[in-house]
Amino acid sequence: MADRYLSLTGTAPGRFLTRRLGLPQPVRLRRWSAEQPSLQGELLHLTAGKSDQDLAPVLGRSAPLSGGEGPRSGGDRPVAVVLDATGVRDIDGLAEVHAALHPVVRSVAESGRVVVLGAPLDPADHHQAAVQQALEGFVRSLGKEIGRGRTVNLVRLSDAEAAESTLRFLLSPRSAYVSGQVIEVGGHGGVDSGGGGGSAGSEDPEKPLAGRTALVTGAARGIGEAVAATLARDGALVVCLDVPAAGGDLATVAERLGGVALPLDITADDAGARIADALPGGRLDVLVHNAGITRDRRLVNMPAERWSSVLDVNLASVLRTTDVLLSCGALRAGGRVVATASIAGIAGNAGQTNYAASKAGVVGLVRSLAPRALSEYGVTVNAVAPGFIETKMTAAVPLFIREAGRRMNSLAQGGLPVDVAETTAWLASPGAGAVNGQVVRVCGQSLLGA
């Protein structure tokens, strides 16, 4: 369903009216397209504290933008600002963060990017840990006030080279609906050693998944279809899985993408083994757990069947199939597991105790399995957590609830299935080997729980 309010604010009378009434003023986000695959404009590189990171080569490869050092004057409007705060270790360093960004924030172009680079918290230095943690509150707050479709994110890193894929994603139109996030690069075991590689330098930016096989569950429609299409765009051979009842739509999607249709009930006890048998060549590089259902009702009115069906599809099937595909060797070294969580699993939602429990369980799975899967199998495990995404399901939500869902985030609009798909594709890429155990919220920085 079209967002008429967003369309209204794109007109001069609409901007005037909403400004006078103090209403949200969203702008249409600049997303990836074949015609405009990158942000175009100046990249401003700033530093706070004494950094020992050499970011220039990485930034040069991460975004096809013209570079620059120091604050700008006159009519220059940078489309992206990267602040290296990895060397901030005390309160004076935080003052340098303010001094660096204060003069330039207002000049960042519409739908621009601000990325702050921080360092891992030092357990032996509580002063460094305090000010590096302070960067998280700073970034989340700036994201909520910067407006005009701009995003602000924090990347914690110890090695600039390992962060190339993450910076490429955050400094591109692909991350249009990702804001206020803290992403650790190199945690939970660091760069994978199983053939995936931690740097994006060796992968083809146009086809990073070329030669790889991906499985997407719930691929017949909605977010799953968008994920399958985006992985195929990036070069993957996609195995599209959905329930047999959706077989017609599933076959259409798979044929359009040049993939393979796999009609299968993901909750079946032997689903993992049947998936392994159906894989082309018996191998899998990317496993995307997207299949999910809702059976909403307040707990006092929720029968056991509504509880168990949601937990079985959204969580139990994820646990079972992941275990099987890892243990049988189908998911090979250098592989990626990307599961779909939800803002509901982080912040909770009335009438969704079953759904929120299942999605919070996905977060627990990721955090526990990630270090072990990397050390034992050479596979990374991450999750995306969508917020309000414009789908047929949200189109059926009552008007006022739907409008509240759209506006209650820093970008004041709903996301699109492709926003979840782009984030999934980044986590699935060979260059994202240093990103492990992360839950990235694709929610426009929801004002609740994010």
Residue 90 three-state SS: coil
State the sign of the Cα–Cα–Cα–Cα dihedral 295, 300, 305, 311.
positive
Calpha distance 97→144 (Å, rounded): 17
d(CA 419, CA 176): 7
DSSP-derived secondary structure letter, 234: T
Cα of 133 vs its chain's centroid, Å: 21
Contact 77, 168 (CB under 8 A): no
414 in Cβ contact with 406 (< 8 Å): yes
Active site residue 355: yes
Q: Which residues are within 8 A (CB) of 428 and not within 5 positions of it... i.e. 6 or more apart?
A: 209, 214, 231, 236, 286, 288, 336, 338
Where are the strands (E) in 356-424, listed by range?
Answer: 380-386
Q: Pull the structure tokens for residue 45.
A: 């590189």
| Phi, psi (deg, nearest 5) at residue 273 | -65, -40
Provide the annotated active-site residues: 355
